[in-house]
Every structure is written in structure tokens, then in C-alpha cells.
Amino acid sequence: MKILVTGGNGFIGSNFIRYFLKKKIVKKIINIDKNSYESISDNFLNFKSKKYFKIKDNLSSSKKIEKIILNHKIDIILHMAAESHVDRSIKDPHKYIMSNVIPTLNILRACVSTRNKRSVRLIYFSTDEVFGSNHKSPPFKLTSQLNPSSPYSASKAAAGLLVSSWRKTYNIDASIVYCCNNYGPYQNPEKLIPASIYRIMNSLPILIYGNGKQIRTWIYVEDTIRAIDKIINVRENINRDYIIGSNRDYTNLTIIRKLISIVNDHSNIGNAKDLIQFTQDRPGHDLAYKLSKDKVLEKLGFKILFDLDRGLKKTVKWYMENPKFIEKNKYKSFIKNLRKVGFK
């Protein structure tokens, strides 16, 4: 099996590569990443394997993608590359359309143009945010209506619709995977859990939007990778879409309180609860993303291995053992934004 991963220097992409490089069935993994501010540095990831190849590219040319598919004899494309920060999408929506929609179009065009020479299966990685908020409704499922609330989620929904339409019109092999909130090692420190861990460890104010009662379904990243493993190995009905959820819903405030407790178990940080600060909510902030489990995935043998407490403990341990992760990966904007509001 030869796999092309877009966004392999990202959070989920890098965890996927690390996990799949150990598999004997995998003969080659090509990682295409443009090395943006969100990307983890290659030196930090340190993928030492003869099966791994890195290509720096922004997916702006379908012709380049065609050559990669044919030259490396790709079997599966796992399209994870995306700008993923909601706050940043509100400030610069054009960037999110150009980064999330156009590259998806180019990949689809490449799949069509190469299929006479190489049959490729595409797995597009989407998000539960494309369905909008469901704080008063049951968990989302595959038949839920798309109702994005931010430029980010709108760009992901648009790209997903392209995948769906190409599947119908051009008969390509493609699946869309809708995933709930992931957490774990190597996550960008602008995200809730790593940002909170960093602030707790450094006695910095822990910022929470609104009242902190926004509800999210959470899953440890290794469980997500194991679910993708099941999807990749499907041999029948390969064009089916999937949901990777856990049915484990928590408020942001609950997550932060759990993190404070876990960090406190490892080091005496004092009364970190006093560090919690509630800030003005962001525009269009959805109150809840609750995602159901996928019964088909369960029939394929997928089970959640990490409950929230176990997953958070592993996550905190990793960040405490890798204190230089933020600085080494050039997240200068994160540090700069902290200093702008008086943090040192």
C-alpha cells in the first residue's frame, strides 16, 4: 500500500504517519505539506524511515499532484491539509477558501485525470463543525443537514460537497470522514487543550470564551488513527462516508478543570483555578458539536480505547516532557499574542 498524505506536518497527519510507518503492509508514505505556521517542523517530527518521503507544496497545481500519483504509484490519498483555526478564518476568510477549497479541487481533478493509469481512492477529512450547532438536538449523523457557522467550517463544507459531487459525476472512489474534536501529542498550541496546558504549566491566565459551557465531543488522536485504519482497509462499499465520534461530550470548562487537576498531580502549581478568565465570546461561536458513533465502524471492529481521563493524562505527560514544542515549531504568533495582552 502506497499512501499520499496531505498536511502530514499537521496534528492528525503527523500522528497518522507515525502510526502507519510501523505497518508492514505500508510500502511508502508521501507527505505533502506547505510548511505553514500551523505545520510542525520536520526536525521535530523526525520521521526516520526509508518508506517516508516529504514534498513541500501547497497543492496549487493539479498537474503536480498527477505526477506524484503516477510517479509514486499512489493507492490512497488521505487529504488532511487545511487551515483549521476558526478565529483566524473570521479575520481572513479569503485565505481559508484558497487553502481549503482550491487544493481539494486540484486533488479531485488529479484523481480523474490519472484514473486510466492509476486507480486512486480518496479519503477527505472533514469536521463536525460543518453541521453547525446542535445543543438542543440529538448528536449529528451522516444525514444531518450542513449548516456551517464560520468561514472555516464553510470552507470545509464546500470542499466536502466538491468531493461528493465528483464522486457522483466522475465516479471516483472517495469517502468523507467527519470527525469530532481531537486532542493528543503534537497539536498546535493555539488549540484549547494544548493552550490550556501551556498556560497552567506557566501560571498564565487560562482564557475561556463566554461562560465556558460550549459542548464538544472529544476523542484521543490515536483512536482517530485507528478508526482511519479500519476505513482504509474496507474492501466493500468503499465510497461510504464515515463519522468518527465517541459519544463523550464535555463543556470547555470541564476540560480545563480536568487539565488543572492532572497537571497539579505532576507538579505543585498552586491554586490554578484562580487563573481561569472568561473572555468575550467570538462571533458565531456554536454552543455544541455533538457527534454520534458510526455503527458501521463498530461493525468493522473499531472501539474507543482511551476515555477522556486516560487520554488527557497521556496528553499532559507528553507536553510536560516536550516543553520546547511551541518554540521549536515556530509558533511565534502564539507567544506574540500572549505578550500583547500582558503575558510574559
Q: What is the pLDDT of residues 130-166, one digit of tens each?
A: 999 887 788 889 999 999 999 999 999 999 999 999 9
pTM (2 d.p.): 0.91
**pLDDT score recorded for residue 275:** 83
CA distance 177 to 79: 10
Rg of the chain over all Cα atoms, to the nearest angstrom:
20
Catalytic annotation, residues: 128-129, 152
The closest of 283, 331, 252 to 44, measured between CA atoms, is: 331
d(CA 183, CA 219): 7
- Extract the residue ranges of the chain whose pLDDT is less than 70: 268-272, 326-344
Residue 234: per-residue pLDDT: 92
For residue 19, how many C-alpha atoms fall within 13 Å in the half-sphere facing its CB?
18
Q: State which amino acid sits at residue 318.
A: W
